Chains A and B, each alone.
Chain A
Amino acid sequence: MTAGAGTPVAIKGAAFTIPADPAERPQLRGSACPSCGARFAGQRAICLGCGHRGLDECLLSPLGVVWTFTIVHQKPPGAILEPPYVIAQIRLQDGPFTQSIVTGCSVTDVRVGMPVVMTLYDTDRMSDGDRVVAFAFRPGTDAT
C-alpha cells in the first residue's frame, strides 16, 4: 500500500487487522466455534454448523484460494474502483468463505483454484484525519 499521512483505519463494514509492521500480514477478524471448530468471517453470535451460542473472536488465515470470480466491467454507483476489476469468493485456508476484490495481477489472470493472500488496499479516502484502508487478495502462497 502507498504511504500517506494519517493513521490507517479499517473501512466501515469490514473487520481486519492493520499491522504496524508492514512485514506482517493483515488478517480478517472472524468468529470461531468452541464446540465444533467451524469458523466464520465477521462477527457471529451463534454457530451455523452446530447451533452453539457464544463464539470466540479469532483472526482468520490470510491464505486462501479463489472459489469463483468475475471481472466487473461496469462501475457500480459509489464504487471507488475503476473497471475492469475482479470480485472473487475466496475460501480461506481455515475454512470460511469471504468476498473480496483481487489485485496484484492482470484481471485476465484470475482463475478458479488460484492461491491468494490477503493484502491491504488504500482507498485514498480520509475519515476524521485518518487514512481509510480496505483489504484485497492478491495471487500468492505462504512463501510469498
Chain B
Amino acid sequence: MSIGEDVVVLGVGLHPFGRFPTKSLDDLAREAGLAALDDAGIEFNQVEAGYLGRVGGTGPPVGVGMRIFGELGQHGIPITNIELACGSSSRSLMLAADAIRAGSVETAMVIGAEKMERGMLRVGGVDSDGYASLMGLNVMPAAYAMMAQRHMSEFGTKPEHFAQVSVKSHRNAMHNPNAQYRVAITLEEVLASRMVCEPLTLYQCCPTSDGASAVILASASFARRHTNTPVHLRAWAGGSPVYSRERSPQGEGPTGLVARRAYQKAGIGPEDVRVTQVHDAFTPGEILTIEELGYVKPGEGGPFVWEGGTEITGRCPVNTDGGLLSRGHPMGATGGAMVTEVVRQLRGQAGPRQVAGARAGLVQNAGIGGVNVLIFNT
C-alpha cells in the first residue's frame, strides 16, 4: 500500500433491474455485493472500506449502509452513506478511489441500491400546497424536455433524433439479461407513445426501478495478486453547476467542464474512448452529453445519433447495455451499473453487445446538477 497507486476495478456485480416486490432493499444489495465479491475472487473480510450510494424513497432513511454491509460481514471497517441523487454510486466510487490512491486502504466496495415507487419523478421534495407543486412545475421530464427544446431551437435538432436514442437503447437492452425492458421498439412506436412533455414521449423516459450494483476497487499492487487482466479506473472528476449570467441554470451539471478535467488527468482525449455510458434519464441526455464529452461538435449530436454513430457498431458506442432508458434506473444503483457495463466491455465479456477493440471507456453519471465522469482503461 502506497500513496498514488493506480486504482483497479477488481469486481463488478448487479442485481437485475426491474420490479421485485417480494425482495427488500437489503436483498437486492446483498445479491449484488456477493456477485461482485465472486467476480473479484476475494472474501468480504478482505474489503477495507464500504460506501453505500442511495437516494431514499421507501424504507428506513438512516443507517442503511451500516445494515447492508453488516449483512455481508462485520470486521470493523468504516462504512459511509453517500447521496448525490441519481449520481450517488458513481460519486461513492470516486471517494473510494480517492481513499485507495491516498494509501488509506487497499480495497473498497461500493454498493448502490434503490427501491422506487411508480410514477413521474418530481424535482425536490413534495410541498403539496407550494408554488411549484400546485403550478405543475417540478416535473423531471419537463427539465429534459426544455433542454431538448433549446437544442432544437439553437441547432435544428429534430424530435426524431431524440426518439432514435430510445430505439437504439431498447435494441441494446435485448442482449442484456439484467435489463428491465428487453423488447425492441420502432421509431414509429416511440414517437406514437403518449406525449409526456414535448418533444418527449413516454418511451423516451426512463422507468422507475428496483435494483442494485456493486463494484470492488483495489490498489494495483493488491489487484496483481488476484487478476492478470486488470481494468484500471484511470481518472475521475466531479462537478456541480457553474453560475452564468448568460445561460439558464438548466441541465444536469457541467459535463463538459468535468470531462475536460477527467481527460486531462487520464492523459487521453475523447478520440481515445471506445465505449461510453451516459446519463440518459430521458433521450436528450445522450444527444447533449456526447456533445459535451467532445465526441461531436455542439449541435451535431442529433444527426450523429440518427446516422447510427452511437450504435454498438458505430464510431462512439453509447449505452451498450440499454442505458437508463431500457436497463432501468434505480437511482442509487445506476452509476455502479454503468461502471459494470464498461468494465465488462473492457474485459471482452459483453457477449452479443461487445464493442470490438474496446481499450478505454467512459462513464458520465449525473444527479440534479452534480455530475461525475470516470475514465477506465485496460
A-side residues, CB < 8 A to B, are 11-14, 38, 48-49, 67-81, 85, 87-89, 91, 95, 97, 99-101, 111-113, 121, 123, 125, 134
Complex: chain A residue closest to B134, CB-CB: A80
In the complex, the answer to whether A72 meets B197 with C-beta atoms within 8 Å is yes
Q: Which 10 A-B pairs have the closest CB atoms?
A: A79-B136, A13-B131, A70-B145, A13-B130, A112-B153, A68-B150, A48-B243, A14-B131, A71-B198, A73-B195
* Separation of A76 and B126 alpha carbons in the complex (Å): 11
- Beta-carbon contact of A12 and B153 below 8 Å: no
Query: Which residues of chain B have C-beta atoms less than 8 A from A113's C-beta?
Result: 153
Is B135 a contact partner of A134 (Cβ separation < 8 A)?
Answer: yes
Task: Tell whether, in the assembled complex, residue A68 and residue B149 are in contact, meaning their CB atoms are under 8 Å apart.
Answer: yes
**Which of A68, A85, A121, A125 is in CB contact (< 8 Å) with B153?**
A68
* Residue from B128, B136, B196 having most chain A Cβ neighbours under 10 A: B136
Q: On chain B, which size bracket covers the interface? A: 35 or more
Contacts of A97 in B (CB 8 A): 248-249
**B142 adjacent to A87 (CB under 8 Å):** yes
- Residues of chain B from 61 to 90 with CB closer than 8 A to chain A in the complex: none
B120 at the interface (CB under 8 A from A): yes
> Which residues of A are found within 8 Å of B250, using beta-carbon distances?
68, 89
B residues near A (Cβ < 8 Å) are: 119-120, 122, 126-139, 141-142, 145-150, 153, 194-198, 200, 243, 245, 248-250
Contacts of B150 in A (CB 8 A): 67-68, 112
Bound Cα distance from A35 to B67, whole angstroms: 50
Q: How near does chain B come to A71, taking the closest CB pair, in angstroms?
A: 4
Can you name 16 A-B pairs with beta carbons within 8 Å? Answer: A11-B135, A12-B127, A12-B129, A12-B131, A67-B150, A68-B153, A70-B197, A70-B198, A72-B196, A75-B136, A76-B136, A77-B120, A78-B126, A80-B135, A99-B137, A125-B134
User: Once bound together, how far apart are the Cα atoms of A99 and B124, in whole Å?
Assistant: 15
Q: A11-B134, A87-B136, A101-B137 are in contact. Are A74 and B149 (CB under 8 A)?
A: no
What residues of chain A lie closer than 8 Å to B141, measured between beta carbons? 74
Q: How far is the CA of A113 from the CA of B154 in the complex (A)?
A: 11
Nearest CB of B to A112, in Å: 4
Task: Please indicate the chain B residues that have their CB under 8 angstroms from the CB of A71 in the complex.
Answer: 195, 197-198
Q: In the complex the two chains form, what is the Cα distance from A14 to B129 in whole Å?
A: 11
A112 CA to B139 CA, complexed, in Å: 20
B245 touches A101 (CB 8 A): no
> How far does the alpha carbon of A123 sit from the alpha carbon of B136 in the complex, in Å?
12
| Candidate in B129, B131, B141 with the most chain A CB atoms within 10 angstroms | B131
User: Is the beta-carbon distance between A101 and B135 smaller than 8 angstroms?
Assistant: yes
Q: State the CA gap A80–B138 with chains docked (Å).
A: 13
